[in-house]
Amino acid sequence: MDLISRRVVFKALVFLCFIRSSQGRDHFTKLNLPPFLKASRFPTFQHEAYDYIIVGGGTAGCPLASTLSQKFKVLLLERGGSPYGNRNITLLENFHICLADVSPESPAQGFISTDGVINARAKVLGGGTCINAGFYSRAKPSFVQQAGWDADLVNQSYPWVEERIVHWPKVAPWQAALRDGLLEAGVSPYNGYTYDHLYGTKVGGTIFDETGYRHTAADLLAAANPNNLRVLLYASVNKIVFNTKQGHRKPRAIGVQFKDENGRHHQAFLREERGSEIIVSAGAIGSPQLLLLSGIGPRNELKKHNISVTIRNEHVGKGMSDNPMNSIFVPMKSPTKQSLIETVGITDAGVFIEASSGFSQTDDSIHCHHGIMSAEVWSLFAFSFTC
């Protein structure tokens, strides 16, 4: 290649890199999000009170904050930072890098459960939608019924989410192979492209767009009323504050206590109105953890940790699960096109069979380029997005 052609190629590469790296920024500007404040900037002297205080700005917390802010004054407290500008979150190709990041700033907090399961939980505005495989499905109707929700309202709410952050995937080769394999194995009928939870094989929605850019629950804050919503980042809530005045038969939650990024403590309070609420949407681990720290849980557990009992509830912290699954790794000689979950098989035994491809493990470990997972049918996305 002569010097001129090399320069042309080099300039083209620089241009392409610029387009790719500015994608996240453009997206952020286009969204017109409400301002995000660091928790240290929360004015402690200001006696601002809220109709709703939402703990956890994740998959459930962000859309709740957006919808409630249409009519009410809302404070959203998230222990992590902003997802915008973090390419480990926004780009599909960095899915595995994001999960493997163990730095203190990582949006994924790795952990191993007491029974030895390796997993991660989110620590970032947008929550699990910033670190997960991005598959989107509507809930099983029987799940909605069992939860006691208004099915019509749930059905009306889905498009609110879908129009904003859900896309149809261009089915990747490994996903097409899984689709054909599932049908051959009898996971039928083929239901085509659908968000609905139907038995058989289908292609579902994804929060990655056609360029591989991840759209998260944080994007849903763009639909909020900015005059009614305050979003604090790096705000770790460590206690729900209860009204302990004499004469109150039942303890009433009146506010929360949280730590900012510098370790300083703050408090925020609800308006003294009937119907004001603290909503705990801190995830499968964070929510029971906060309840326990606030004295809500099994008496013996609380006693063991010298926490005085506010409300006795034997179920808090029990039977928790989030994204439980079994995986099979399929080592390949050559890398394949990367894909996250697009095709699923839903069996009447109550499992999802799904797959990802092209995310190898570390260089010195076995190269696992394809994977198949089977997960319990799990409807948290619908649960999370009910608005």
Ligand X SMILES: Cc1cc2nc3c(=O)[nH]c(=O)nc-3n(C[C@H](O)[C@H](O)[C@H](O)COP(=O)(O)OP(=O)(O)OC[C@H]3O[C@@H](n4cnc5c(N)ncnc54)[C@H](O)[C@@H]3O)c2cc1C
- For ligand X, give the closer residue by CB, 86 or 236: 236
| Minimum separation from the CB atom of position 120 to ligand X (A) | 5
**Residue 286 within binding range of ligand X, rule CB under 6 A:** yes
The reply to whether 382 sits near ligand X by the rule CB under 6 A is no
- Cβ closer to ligand X: 200 or 283? 283
| Interaction pattern, residues 77-96, with ligand X; x per rule: CB under 6 A | xxxx----------------
* 283 belongs to the binding site for ligand X (CB under 6 A): yes
Q: Which residues contact 254 (CB under 8 A, 6 or more apart)?
A: 241, 242, 243, 269, 270, 272
Q: Are strands 135-136 and 311-312 parallel, antiparallel or unpaired?
A: unpaired
Beta strands in 91-204 (DSSP E): 108-112, 118-122, 135-136, 190-193, 200-203
The footprint of ligand X on this chain (CB under 6 A) covers a number of residues equal to: 38
Closest CA to 342 of 214, 210, 202: 202
Q: Tokens at residue 202, please?
A: 């289908």
Report the residue closest to ligand X, judged by CB.
58
Contact 289, 282 (CB under 8 A): yes
- Shortest distance, position 74 Cβ to ligand X, whole Å: 15
Position among 34, 39, 51, 59 found at the interface with ligand X (CB under 6 A): 59
In 3D space, the residue among 159, 146, 133, 128 whose CA is nearest the CA of residue 60 turns out to be 128
Q: In this chain, which stretch among 30-38, 40-48, 73-81, 144-152 interacts with ligand X, using CB under 6 A?
A: 73-81
Distance CA 359, CA 347 (A): 26
DSSP alpha helix (H) spans, 185-311: 283-293, 299-304
Q: Which of residues 320-379 bind ligand X (CB under 6 A)?
A: 322-323, 341
- Residue closer to ligand X, measured from CB, 72 or 381: 381
HSE-CB of 312 using CA atoms within 13 angstroms:
3
Task: Scan residues 189-248 and list those touching ligand X (CB under 6 A).
Answer: 235-237
Select the residue interacting with ligand X from 106, 281, 339, 357 (CB under 6 A).
Answer: 281
Window contacting ligand X (CB under 6 A); options: 16-24, 119-127, 161-169, 343-351: 119-127
Q: Which residue is listed with tokens 């912290």?
A: 317
Q: Does 60 bind ligand X (CB under 6 A)?
A: yes
Contacts with ligand X by CB under 6 A lie at 55-61, 77-80, 120-124, 127-129, 131-135, 235-237, 281-283, 286, 290, 322-323, 341, 380-381, 384
